[in-house]
Structure 1
Amino acid sequence: MSTTNYFTRVDTAVGPSGGTSAVAPSMAALVAQLNQGKGKNVSFLNPFLYENASNGIFNDVTQGTNALANTIKSYEAAPGWDACTGLGTPHGTAILNQLP
């Protein structure tokens, strides 16, 4: 999932964020909606997501980095899976429609 201009609230502070800490709540919410949409627990999704990544269930993010100013070297986004964006940003409706 892309985290550009992703704002989070921690206690009373609101500010831009990124990385796993920002995206994990969104992915958890998506899985909860998938469970609701299917009327059952969709269970462990990783095998399904990787097997169906080329079936239009992700937006492939091909530009950008996960750089933070003045820190360690970052990863670059690229076509397909990459260490910066993984599989890309999920399309919830497409995932729901393709789940068994």
Structure 2
Amino acid sequence: MIEKIKIATIETKSGTSKTGRGYNMVIIMAEDGRKMSCYIDKELDLKYKKQEKMVDWKPGMEVTVKVDKNGDYLNFELPSKNDLLEDRIIEVEKRLSVIEIAIRHAKKAD
């Protein structure tokens, strides 16, 4: 789900996975109390370039992210153009349903 969130805190952790790969993890605490993270494999993950966009993120900023629940954890990533387009289509379909219902009610009233 694509959301706009306001950042309360943000931190970056670096480490090495069990398989020996280097990674970064960007961890955000949203102002609504939700904690979410973005795992970035330094060697393989295309998200690594996206992390460059996160470097300037500061507490108080509002950012658009794609949030996914993985068990008890929330993960986030920067939405792709396709993600943003899909989200807009879903919103348009919801609005269209409301319009169709209003038209049906208007026809019944006549």
Indicate the TM-score class for this superposition, using the shorter chain for normalisation: under 0.3
Greater strand share, structure number: 2
Q: TM-score of the superposition, structure 2-length normalised?
A: 0.25
Q: TM-score of the superposition, structure 1-length normalised?
A: 0.27
Structure with max Cα Rg: 2
